[in-house]
Homo-oligomer: A and B are copies of this chain.
Amino acid sequence: MEWLTDEQQAAWRPFIALLGRLPAALDAQLQRDAGITNFDYLVLSGLSEAPSRTLRMSELAAIANSSLSRLSHVVTRLEAKGWVRREPCPGDGRFINAVLTDEGWQKVLATAPGHVSAVRELLVDVLTKEEFEQLGAISARVLAAQGIKVAIPNAGG
């Protein structure tokens, strides 16, 4: 085998540190201010942007970068809090629609500003416009290599 070159390590180390720390920092803000996890937020905000605030479990799992199993557990918790409800899909009994309730919508509205601020403070505002775009492009490329395409709203895609 061959470990990474010094140059590669100089890039790898900061990146893996970021991978470890940024999610923790984002989670900390959401937990403190809204009592939810980053993943909860991803699920709620994913639903909030969908037509009729409704998505099939499997679609929602793709948006939240999650296994169905994980999503199922989380939706059970979110349902218990009254933010989401499940509805069987009339056409095909295998599908389950997750629907954001009005209370869930209110939760998203209440939570978004603080979360957006955290994203800005931790990431967006410490980078130049070009750097942030590069970060996005690089991320998209890594995901594309795994066959994953990320949906971007308002991007004609």
Instruction: Give the residues in chain B near A9, CB-CB below 8 Å.
Output: 152-154
Closest chain-B Cβ to A10's Cβ sits at a distance in Å of 5
Q: Can you list 27 A-B pairs with a CB-CB distance of less than 8 A?
A: A2-B116, A3-B116, A4-B119, A7-B129, A8-B132, A11-B132, A11-B133, A11-B137, A11-B139, A12-B124, A13-B150, A13-B151, A14-B139, A14-B152, A16-B42, A19-B19, A19-B23, A21-B65, A21-B143, A21-B148, A126-B142, A127-B138, A127-B141, A127-B142, A131-B138, A131-B141, A135-B138
Quickly give the copy total for this chain. Answer: 2
Interface of A is mostly: helix
CA A18 to CA B17, docked complex, whole Å? 14
CA A16 to CA B15, docked complex, whole Å? 14
Residues of A that sit less than 8 Å from B by CB: 1-4, 6-25, 42, 64-66, 112-113, 116-117, 119, 122-124, 126-127, 129, 131-143, 145-146, 148, 150-155
CA A153 to CA B6, docked complex, whole Å? 8
